[in-house]
Amino acid sequence: MTLKTKMALVMVLALAGMVHAATGMMDRALSRIGLGELARANHHYLEESYDGALEGFLVLSAVKSGLAVIEGSEVGIGFNLQVGDLVQSVYDYVDIAWKTVLAGGTILFMTRLALEGVAMADHFVMVLAFFCLFLLAAGRCFFPDRKGLAQFLRSVTATCTFMTVLLYLVLPLAVFGASCLSARITRPLIKQSYDAFDKVSRTFTRGAVENGIDIDGKATSAVEAAMGVADRYERLKKQLRELEAYLSEQGRNLAGTTFQLIAGYLFDCVIFPLAFVAVLILFLRGMPGYLARARQDRRVA
């Protein structure tokens, strides 16, 4: 088979590929062989993760609101004493966790939008790849002496082909791989963090902290009115020590929970997807060289 015959056959195949890609027939065929199921799995993972992040965000917002109220509260014994300093460290941990969940949920939502955008534009890139292949075959068929033109068209065709594989296969596989690792590694950590903050949201409220201490000097019982300032001061000092111990324990617990939450979202939303993209891209870039070496080895043998 002569070079012109080969290039003419490639031109016909490229035209057929352009038509199938432009009409959506190629997408439907790829969906039937597994890419459709991959897209549905990714959509389910991103939607479920986003809903979980939204629920955690609401829980942390409730904790932040309660702590903000406590932070501005005062206890009275004839004079006022600010209790905000006691809850400041706990508030800082909750605030960091709140920002982490906000960023993680935003990244998950943006990833879902990106995949939806890719699904809308990937067939145009495939059409462009087949069109570049058609031009390359036509150039080699009708202008075989134009080496520079052939080299340029070969580079453009390779770039478009790589972009097509990236949009159709690499990005969805990266998200799917991240979801598999997340289910086994990070999702349990994030769920434990949410459970810990949810427990705090139920127990660490203004009413819980006010157990046994008077806020804003609102002591109305006759017994308390008859107590001397010294007795009230001693009782209040004891209660504040208990409150400080309680807040210190909560602070230590929430510090570990916050670190766990940050690590979970960092791996879930950044490290896992980027690692899979890098691995797949290196695999795609190394595959042509491997095939060329294998073909050369067969010739030598």
pLDDT score for 214: 46
* Residue 186: both structure tokens together: 């990070």
* Range among 20-34, 75-89, 236-250, 252-266 rated most confident: 20-34
In this predicted model, what pLDDT tens digit does every residue of 45-95 receive, in sequence order? 889 888 888 888 888 888 787 777 666 555 444 434 455 556 677 778 888
Give the confidence band of 128 by pLDDT, cuts at 50, 70, 90.
very high
What is the mean predicted confidence (pLDDT) over 269-294? 72
Distance in angstroms (rounded) separating the CA atoms of residues 287 and 75: 71
